[in-house]
Structure 1
């Protein structure tokens, strides 16, 4: 059930856990499809991403790291067991598990790729904050970044921080 919070500069309806999970799933679907502008549209301009042993601060850092990904690599991220772990009037923290599957570099195979199994199971902790969309757009780091006006994020709540913590690795890939 959604709840209304009054926060400075923003009156926001807190999204449900399923709305937040949907936004998180969209984030990783955009990553899998290399749709980086759509991924960034789900995040605040000051988004901080703890990813692969590095901390990426802001859209410029995130985009630079994503542009280094091999274009021939196929990756699928599956999100499960999402639950709201903390909620305040200004932020909500969602915890979930993410299983990553990856096929090697090279030309994409015809049909499904054959892999030995998952690459890794990670814990994903994602903080969402209620946003004033006009304020977020004004704080955008570059004029060519995706606008949040078309954000399909949970009721105007944007991802402000995400921490990926690997729990299990599944052999050589």
Structure 2
């Protein structure tokens, strides 16, 4: 009897995760920004797609961002700025892991494109299992966009400076996709 209940719970959980991760609007790409570490948990990181503010949250959370396929510059801001260039395919799902690090005054941020073939997914899977995605209303994003106007200008200055100096900007490749089944934590 206990085994049946556990099996039913596992099936229900799997179905819920599949519905959260599997559905992408027609012709769009999905990018998960996952912050599975609790380091610097009180510090908000602000996320951008080019010059567009797409979210802001602290602590161990994540957001699912849908966008048009093609080239994107994703970046996050905290004490520093971290960038990822991306080439996305429609109907596909990607992950950018958000890694907080110790900064001078507050937590710094490092964005890391996830290649499921050589990245430890367990912390991300556990995060997705335990929490729902952060959701931002249009009016919240509009206010964030206004608040971040100067930050966006400085962010692009920093990005251009890094490019001019020949610094490596991580790249999220079209092949670095994940399937819904990749995002389910299975105890081994």
Asked if these proteins are the same fold (TM beyond 0.5), I'd say no
Which TM-score applies when normalising by structure 2? 0.26
Which structure is higher in strand share?
1
Which TM-score applies when normalising by structure 1? 0.27
Which structure is higher in helix share?
2
